[in-house]
Amino acid sequence: MDVILQILLLLICAKLFGELVERAGYPALIGEVAAGILLGPTLLGWVTTNETIEIFADIGIIALLFISGAEMNLKSFLERRNVAVSTAVAGVLVPFAGGALLGYLLDFSQAETLFLAIALSITSIGVSVRILVDYKQLNTIVGTAIVSAAVLDDIIGIFLLGILSAVAMTGTTLAGDSISMGLLIAIVFLVLFVLIAPRALRWFFDLARKTETHEMVYSVAIILALASAWLSQTAGLHYSIGAFIAGLILGEQIRRDRLLFDSLMDFGFGFFVTIFFASIGLLFSFTLETFLSPYIIPLILVAIAGKIIGGYIGSIHFLTRAEALLVGLGMTPRGEIALVVAKVALVGGIIGSALFSAVTVMVIVTIIITPLLMKQGFIRAQITEKESS
């Protein structure tokens, strides 16, 4: 029962803080992350990450991406291809360059500099999507641009992570073969998945609807989300990508069954997604050493400025200035991938624990600051719309 008590504490605290933050006009996720920080090792120390909590969090991010996919309009998502590609590319290049510059200025080794550049490159699709859901902006032009760019971001992320793993293992960047192999597998998987999955997923889903119990449709929706997530993970992509595509494909059928959609929303936002965000807070370990670290402030500034500028440059040709700024802002949160990158680098001996913990602080700060900044952005964007109309 110990782990159940920890989950209970996380859930109570996260829901309470989320509600308070929401009443103050900001997205609940800030409160949920704050709950994890409070209960985690730095402050109270009542809850520590363990395998079970990690699996609850994994199911949380899978549910989040699946539900968000189901909520999005597949057509308008596909229509935004151009803005997605250009935003993703610029949104990775600028913070990558920023990280490289920072490493140079701080006199880091080549491997450390490469690590820094990569850790700053990849948006957390989970956090970005959650902010859009909380602000009810998922299906707007800004929302679709952010999400589609974040999906491509993740594919670029595999490539970068592959390079880093090669450096961590061999000390050189010459393992190009295995990296391109990994990228090839991921792309072949994606193409096959997009070709075959729609038929297969819809067939299974329709089959489930023929059974007598409503729970069966619900179970099959969860099964398809988990299975797609597992497949994409096996192909080397982040598992949230598979869950998101499955959601996009089944969106129309799920939205038509209002009872099912609400029930899945409860499953996600009433339980697992909350635990995912609280578990992010648990990662926060802030010691005096971190506080005194000379990297921490520049790292955070480059993280925020890099994505805002990159996202803005990438999307300005397709959107208004206020919208492009919001796209840049929306891509600012870093998450799972930055943490994986940091772990690979730490284990591979590329970085020390001080830089590792600085990266976790950067992740938490971008997650908490982005929704705060975006609120101003959304208010401003609405003013612009009113003025122009």
Site of interaction with a copy of itself (CB under 8 A): 1, 3-5, 7-8, 11-12, 15, 19, 22, 51-52, 55, 58-59, 211-216, 218-220, 222-223, 226-227, 229-230, 233, 239, 259, 262-263, 265-267, 269-271, 274
Shortest distance in whole angstroms from residue 36 CB to a copy of itself? 16
Distance CA 389, CA 165 (A): 51
First CA to last CA across the chain, in angstroms?
Answer: 58
Alpha carbon 345 to chain centroid, angstroms? 20
317: left (phi over 0), alpha (psi -120 to 50) or beta: alpha
**Of the candidates 144, 61, 134, which has an alpha carbon nearest to the alpha carbon of residue 335?**
61
Shortest distance in whole angstroms from residue 223 CB to a copy of itself? 6
Of 221 and 381, CB closest to a copy of itself: 221
Distance CA 100, CA 389 (A): 43
311: left (phi over 0), alpha (psi -120 to 50) or beta: alpha
Shortest distance in whole angstroms from residue 218 CB to a copy of itself? 4
Q: What is the dihedral of CA 269, 270, 276, 279, to 10 degrees?
A: 140
Distance CA 384, CA 389 (A): 8
Of 79 and 262, CB closest to a copy of itself: 262
Of 172 and 211, CB closest to a copy of itself: 211
Of 58 and 153, CB closest to a copy of itself: 58
- The DSSP output letter for 42 is T
Residue position matching structure tokens 């850790």: 119
Of 46 and 286, CB closest to a copy of itself: 46
SS3 133: helix
Distance CA 63, CA 256 (A): 18
Distance CA 382, CA 389 (A): 11
Shortest distance in whole angstroms from residue 129 CB to a copy of itself? 16
Shortest distance in whole angstroms from residue 279 CB to a copy of itself? 14
Distance CA 167, CA 116 (A): 13
What DSSP assignment string belongs to 347-360?
Answer: HTTSS-HHHHHHHH
Of 112 and 257, CB closest to a copy of itself: 257
**Of the candidates 157, 146, 155, 154, which has an alpha carbon nearest to the alpha carbon of residue 80?**
146
Of 98 and 335, CB closest to a copy of itself: 335
Of 19 and 385, CB closest to a copy of itself: 19
What is the torsional sign of CA 251, 258, 374, 361?
Answer: negative
Shortest distance in whole angstroms from residue 16 CB to a copy of itself? 10
Shortest distance in whole angstroms from residue 131 CB to a copy of itself? 16
Shortest distance in whole angstroms from residue 13 CB to a copy of itself? 10
What DSSP assignment string belongs to 94-152?
Answer: HHHHHHHHHHHHTT--HHHHHHHHHHTT---HHHHHHHHHHTT-TTSHHHHHHHHHHHH
Of 28 and 37, CB closest to a copy of itself: 28
Q: Which amino acid is at 258?
A: R
CB 264 within 8 A of CB 67: yes
Of 22 and 112, CB closest to a copy of itself: 22
Shortest distance in whole angstroms from residue 235 CB to a copy of itself? 12
Shortest distance in whole angstroms from residue 259 CB to a copy of itself? 6
Q: What is the dihedral of CA 166, 185, 339, 137, to 10 degrees?
A: 150
